[in-house]
Amino acid sequence: MDVLQQRRNDSPARMEPLSKLPVFWALEGRRVVVAGGTDAAAWKAELLAACGACVEIFAEDLSDACAALAAHKPEHPSASVYHHQREWREADLEHAALAIGDCEDGDEAQRFFDAARATGVPVNVIDKPDYCQFQFGSIVNRSPVVVAISTDGAAPILAQAIRRRIETLLPQALKGWAGLAQALRDQINERLAPGPLRRAFWEKFVDRAFSSSDTPEEVVGGLLLKEAERLRGAPALTFQGRVTLVGAGPGDAELLTLKAVRALQAADVILFDDLVSTEVLELARREAKRMLVGKRGGRTSCSQEDINDMMVKLAKAGKRVVRLKSGDPMIFGRAGEEIAHLDREGIPVDVVPGITAASAMASRLGISLTHRDHAQSVRFITGHSRHGGLPEDVSWASVADPRTTTVFYMGGRTATLIAERLIAEGLSPSTPVIVMSDVSRVTQRDWRGPLEELREGIAIIGYDQPVLIAVGSTLAAREMANQNGNQQKLDLQREAC
């Protein structure tokens, strides 16, 4: 357990640097100054009024949009918009919560900025980042759920594109469910103590919110309170922890499934492999404890027994445990041993599959592992035995079938032996081979060549990082198609001449 404890201590939650601190500011009934009567000022004033602010616009003239805003009562009951038909003065900024300016030139911007600073009011000068203490981001509004996106002013179009994507992910009905959660929160807190019971209630609530396309009806609140009462009276055993084996994929966080992200967001503890990328871990719940339990060939690592015992101990303590494995947990991930151990201990366990490295490799290369003209099947084979040599219980004669694509996992150290054995079993020395390391990551590297030169290929790629070795004629199918296409173009050009 010494190794496990050391890795625990060496693996704190990691937080990437932030360009700006995202803050949600309560403005209900607060006074906000807007200097300027342009369309840009109108947009900011409308946004502030939607938050319940008392907006005061200082400008001699108003654009049509600004005039329309000042002429109508805002929908928010605490909001108001009032037009002062004159230019702003420094005294106008006193006791304001925020100051927004639309200034024509740098001198005016500097004057407005200095005046706001002097009165202690946070200030934003529209489209002049040097005179802004805070920024407005792109907004997804499901109030009381509000999502704000910032690119630190670098790419507003990118922020808008991100907003559009989030809009498609969050159902419109979420607004109603969030409002219901807000209304029920105090009553649920009275009925359920902090811990597994309260957590179980809110997780079921969230599942209903995201699975429903309709705004909750009035009766739903009463039904949920009855559910809270039922949970309070349920046996404690019902709320023991559970373990979820989650496939982290080969490294690119965008290859995670939605179910995997949800599991990471619900975890109390995450036991992660050494190969899991930082980008994937960034998607986990901030409060989750993260513990590195990785196993790497040739390196000091945690034993499988330690990992099994830790999962049981944490689950019996009522924790939701995610066992985060690189690739797919059911392919060379020793998931079978972990599931069997958890079953013996009576711990609930489920599995979230991931993108295995071979599939990611095929997509990166744009090749089919089972191209109908070249391969009728595909095999995934471990590249070494428990003792470090070639796997002993493999039928190498069948592996050498030229109509099969074979992908060797963890075969970096045995690559030369693999090539020699396949050639000895009758596979052509010219059979195409691709060696790829760090599949789907920015550090990805690959080598291509014939089977007989695999020794040279692995020497170039190395095996300090995870390595895949793919063997089969289908690996050259795309290059052959491109060559044939180019030849056809040349023939057509010659005919035209």
Burial environment of residue 179 by CB neighbours within 10 A (0 to 12, 13 to 18, 19 or more): middle
Q: What is the pLDDT of residues 413-450, one digit of tens each?
A: 999 999 999 999 999 999 999 999 999 999 999 999 99
C-beta atoms surrounding 150 within 10 Å: 17
Q: What is the C-alpha radius of gyration for the chain, rounded to an integer number of angstroms?
A: 30
Residue showing tokens 């990691």: 14
Q: What is the pLDDT of residue 392?
A: 82
Residue 269 to residue 243: CA distance in whole angstroms = 10
Residue 339 to residue 58: CA distance in whole angstroms = 68
CATH number of 31-136: 3.40.50.720
DSSP letter, residue 130: G
Reported confidence tier of residue 218, pLDDT bands at 50, 70, 90: confident
Among 52, 50, 34, 53, which Cα is nearest to 42's?
34
Q: What would the mean pLDDT of 98-111 be, rounded to a whole number?
A: 95
Q: Any residues with CB less than 8 A from the CB of 482 and at least 6 apart, and which?
A: none
49 vs 493, higher pLDDT: 49
18 vs 95, higher pLDDT: 95
Helix-strand-coil percent breakdown of the chain, rounded to 5? 45, 20, 40
15-24, long-range: CB < 8 A, 24+ apart: 16/282, 19/150, 19/152, 20/135, 20/150, 20/152, 22/137, 22/148, 22/150, 23/134, 24/146, 24/148
- Enumerate the β-bridge partners of residue 243: 321, 349
pLDDT at 297 > cutoff 80: no
Task: Supply angle C-alpha 55, 61, 63, rounded to 5.
Answer: 75
Q: Is 273 assigned a catalytic role?
A: yes
Q: What is the pLDDT of residue 286?
A: 83
Q: What is the pLDDT of residues 472-481, one digit of tens each?
A: 998 887 665 5
Task: Give the rounded percent of residues in the chain with a pLDDT score beyond 90.
Answer: 60
DSSP letter, residue 132: B
> Sheet containing 289-292: which strands, arranged edge to edge?
289-292, 269-272, 320-325, 242-247, 349-352
Q: What is the pLDDT of residues 343-359, one digit of tens each?
A: 999 999 999 999 999 99
Residue showing tokens 């807007």: 34
Residue 62 to residue 334: CA distance in whole angstroms = 69
Q: What is the pLDDT of residue 2?
A: 47
Domain residue spans in the chain?
31-136, 174-238, 240-355, 358-480
pLDDT at 409 > cutoff 90: yes
pLDDT at 407 > cutoff 70: yes
What is the CATH class of 174-238?
A: mainly alpha
Any idea which architecture 358-480 has in CATH?
2-Layer Sandwich (3.30)
Q: Is 325 assigned a catalytic role?
A: no
List the catalytic residue out of 92, 268, 273, 438.
273
pLDDT at 65 > cutoff 60: yes
Q: What would the mean pLDDT of 202-218 be, rounded to a whole number?
A: 82
Any idea which architecture 240-355 has in CATH?
3-Layer(aba) Sandwich (3.40)
Residue 244 to residue 324: CA distance in whole angstroms = 8
Q: What is the pLDDT of residues 160-174, one digit of tens each?
A: 888 888 887 788 888
List the catalytic residue out of 175, 259, 274, 295.
295
Q: What is the pLDDT of residue 308?
A: 94
Q: What would the mean pLDDT of 451-457 be, rounded to a whole number?
A: 96
Mean pLDDT of the chain: 87
Q: What is the pLDDT of residues 221-278, one digit of tens each?
A: 999 999 898 888 765 545 578 899 999 999 999 999 888 988 898 889 999 998 999 9
174-238 and 31-136 share a CATH fold:
no
Query: Dihedral of CA 363/364/370/372: which sign?
Result: positive
